[in-house]
A and B are shown apart, each in its own frame.
Chain A
Amino acid sequence: MAGNFWQSSHHQQWILDKQELRRDRQFDLNILSEEEYQKVFNFFASIIQVLGEQLKLRQQVIATATVYFKRFYARNSLKCIDPLLLAPTCVFLASKVEEFGVISNSRLITTCQTVIKNKFSYAYGQQEFPYRTNHILECEFYLLENLDCCLIVYQPYRPLLLFVQDIGQDDQLLTYAWRIVNDSLRTDVSLLYPPYQIAIGALQIACVMLGKDNLKPWFAELNVDMDKIQEIVRAIINLYEMWKSYDEKKEIQGLLSKMPKPKPAPQR
């Protein structure tokens, strides 16, 4: 569907309004501060990233899974479905849509178990990954419903490649911008801006980092809303600022216990 972002469900249904997004998160934001909320998402995005890598998925698939995750919680509170279940479910669904081939159920669960045990013990201690295949499959139906069956997600990687080609192949610039796009998955930009704008934002940051002033004219010639690009740049820079003073290993347990959680059926 590469040629057709403007007609896509991504463009028509899933570029959200900032104010609306904040309103939809009101319930969670009564419990967590905005920064805490972002830290929680950052953590689950890491789980998705590491799971994807362990399963040898490509970054494109991982990015799609992360966007599914964010879209679900854009419309629902964190308490609706345990994010620790939704994260692998997003990976599972994205791998099918992005043609990676179906990951076998048992491999998915085993990978979740080892990843939680080996890489995230700082968050979960000795606790094991509590879910099984049937949970993932049930959750997958809820996910698909909440995504309104919009499964094709456009990512900034392709526009980024085209822009860099246009600039005149510069591997260092591409490498930097590519990583910044990966980082941007930890912010809300994928919910708020079209992927080509995110690619431009990432390029701008990369240029600043590399001290490339000579690209100013190139940016100036682009026919884009520079205010939007600045918002994207700010969101990503804010993330970097946050990371400077953030020690996830120390804080995450507190955040996870503070985060709103699903309530079981009332006991009779």
Chain B
Amino acid sequence: MGDNFQNKTMAAVMMDYDFKIKTQNERSKVEDLFDYEGCKVGRGTYGHVYKARRKDGSDTKDYALKQIEGTGLSMSACREIALLRELKHPNVINLIRVFLSHTDRKVWLLFDYAEHDLWHIIKFHRAAKANKKSVMVPKGMVKSLLYQILDGIHYLHSNWVLHRDLKPANILVMGEGPERGRVKIADMGFARLFNAPLKPLADLDPVVVTFWYRAPELLLGARHYTKAIDIWAIGCIFAELLTSEPIFHCRQEDIKTSNPYHHDQLDRIFNVMGFPLEKDWEDIRKMPEHATLVKDFKRSNYQNCSLSKYMDRHKIKPDSKAFSLLQRLLLMDPNKRITSEQAMQDPYFAEDPLPTQDVFAGCTIPYPKREFLTDDDQEDKSDSKARQNQQQQQPNTQQNQVQQNSHDHGANNAKRMRMTGPNQGNNTGGGQQEFHQQQQMMFGSQQQGGSSQQQGNYQQRF
């Protein structure tokens, strides 16, 4: 750089002054349009979420403003914007608008505000249970929740989008208003198109997933993400809704970050489900970590475990329709696990009470509204673990109740691990992959010297 560089540089003006001024004047700033100061309601790994109102009073609705962590367009921000821009379904969170703040290079996403989420809802039930109180909710609420989750996921899956981070905190539920009691699947930052992986996902940003909702094949090193992995997570959420306990709860301390294989999590799954029989999951032998599994686990240790016993202990009868659907969602063999479409056809949903659009079915909503996080919580941003602890310990009566029930209150921000992620599945086959490499032009190469003929690699690749 330096002087030498200056001399040889083209005297280029990157941007037209009038164009710049004109766009600047036309651009609306998030802080001009919305009030949100002091109204932070959520803090995740990838951003801060504020409850916001329009300043001009043109409507009095609540909005959620998500300020993406860091500056500029990270890859996950790009993906979140790219996908949400295209997706439109009543059970998928709706991206209303994107604000780009040029001065501090912050990216803001504007969403409809969802007053509740399944993490808070389940926590409320658990607290009540611990205090031997009961919560009045409509009989069909769990069914309605599950149905809408399946509906949203079916939409995503049929558009070749995988969620990959389904957990209670990412399932939002709308509060009072025109969409009362409607499920909104959120946090699509990691959703990826999976019909045409251009690059093995392991080479992209390290994957971050909560382990309690991870399918067994992932824990055994599966290299491909599939729809079945989302279905497993939905099964976990269903069980948690039925019992108020995370079904595959597991201590998170000694999770190895670089390895998908996680002994304790598998142990927990087997303790609930029993150890899989060869005939139930034939391809288990093909899993990358199968040898480790054989070495580390003894079938005889899980002789008396089964999902029906576990659920029975939690007062869900093995002959109920709910149990039978749960069992189909939580099949160990991913190939046997049902699809979202099949799940929506399950007799459970045809049985009384039928699922309702408003999951609260018009009843009073017993759950508290989101509380604002105080600035005290806003410490060292670089240490997300500390931040998460802080968030869990914010003083708030609901949470204090839950503290007694100490084993699982990390659920929301259950420690997120960086892992070498598996690839996406459903590859359309080698031929297509190859063809994506095809850069040769029909005539371009011969006709225009110098511009696009450096693709001599055509021959080798084709």
Measured CB to CB, the residues of A under 8 A from B are 1-4, 7-9, 42-43, 46, 49-50, 52-53, 58-62, 76-77, 79-82, 84-85, 93, 96-102, 119-120, 122, 124, 126-128, 130-131, 135, 137-142, 144-145, 149-152, 157-158, 161, 174-176, 178-180, 182-183, 186, 240, 243-244, 246-249, 261-266
Task: Give the distance in Å from the alpha carbon of A179 to the alpha carbon of B454 in the complex.
Answer: 14
| Nearest CB in chain B: distance from A33 CB, A | 19
Chain B, range 88-141, C-beta contacts under 8 Å to A: 88, 98, 100, 102, 105
Instruction: Find chain A residues with CB under 8 A from B342 CB.
Output: none
Give me 12 A-to-B residue pairs in the complex whose CB atoms sit less than 8 angstroms apart, sorted by A's number.
Answer: A7-B88, A53-B439, A58-B437, A59-B438, A62-B439, A81-B14, A85-B14, A99-B79, A99-B197, A119-B450, A151-B82, A152-B85
Instruction: Find chain B residues with CB under 8 A from A127 CB.
Output: 8-10
Measured CB to CB, the residues of B under 8 A from A are 5, 8-10, 12-19, 23, 27, 72-75, 78-79, 81-83, 85-86, 88, 98, 100, 102, 105, 158-161, 192-193, 195-199, 201, 203-205, 431-432, 435-444, 447-452, 454-455, 462
Instruction: Find chain A residues with CB under 8 A from B201 CB.
Output: 99
Task: Give the distance in Å from the alpha carbon of A46 to the alpha carbon of B394 in the complex.
Answer: 56
Contact A98 B440 (CB under 8 A): no
Taking CB as reference atom, which chain B residue is nearest A140?
B73
| Nearest CB in chain B: distance from A200 CB, A | 16
Instruction: Find chain B residues with CB under 8 A from A142 CB.
Output: 15, 23
Contact B16 A8 (CB under 8 A): no
Partner of B199, one of A1, A99, A186, A262: A99
Taking CB as reference atom, which chain B residue is nearest A4?
B159
Contact B159 A126 (CB under 8 A): no
Partner of A100, one of B9, B15, B72, B198: B198
Task: Give the distance in Å from the alpha carbon of A9 to the alpha carbon of B84 in the complex.
Answer: 11
| Nearest CB in chain B: distance from A177 CB, A | 9
| Nearest CB in chain B: distance from A131 CB, A | 7
Partner of A2, one of B18, B160, B192: B160
Contact B443 A1 (CB under 8 A): no
Closest 3 CB pairs of A and B: A46-B451, A179-B442, A151-B82
Task: Give the distance in Å from the alpha carbon of A101 to the alpha carbon of B75 in the complex.
Answer: 7
Contact A179 B75 (CB under 8 A): no
Task: Give the distance in Å from the alpha carbon of A264 to the alpha carbon of B203 in the complex.
Answer: 42
Task: Give the distance in Å from the alpha carbon of A141 to the alpha carbon of B27 in the complex.
Answer: 12
Most buried by B among A3, A9, A176: A3
Task: Give the distance in Å from the alpha carbon of A264 to the alpha carbon of B192 in the complex.
Answer: 41
Instruction: Find chain A residues with CB under 8 A from B82 CB.
Output: 97, 149, 151-152
Contact A2 B14 (CB under 8 A): no
Contact B19 A80 (CB under 8 A): yes
Instruction: Find chain A residues with CB under 8 A from B19 CB.
Output: 76-77, 79-81, 262
Instruction: Find chain A residues with CB under 8 A from B17 CB.
Output: 262-266
| Nearest CB in chain B: distance from A259 CB, A | 12
Contact B85 A82 (CB under 8 A): no
Contact A1 B437 (CB under 8 A): no
Partner of A58, one of B5, B198, B205, B455: B198
Instruction: Find chain B residues with CB under 8 A from A175 CB.
Output: 438, 462
Contact A152 B16 (CB under 8 A): no
Q: A122-B449, A138-B15, A140-B73 are in contact. List 7 more A-B contacts (CB 8 A).
A: A3-B160, A59-B436, A85-B14, A128-B10, A175-B438, A243-B443, A248-B448
Taking CB as reference atom, which chain B residue is nearest A260?
B16
Most buried by A among B9, B437, B454: B454
Contact A135 B441 (CB under 8 A): no
| Nearest CB in chain A: distance from B461 CB, A | 10
Taking CB as reference atom, which chain A residue is nearest B447?
A243
| Nearest CB in chain B: distance from A251 CB, A | 11
Partner of A99, one of B14, B74, B85, B192: B192
Instruction: Find chain B residues with CB under 8 A from A102 CB.
Output: 74-75
Instruction: Find chain B residues with CB under 8 A from A97 CB.
Output: 78-79, 82
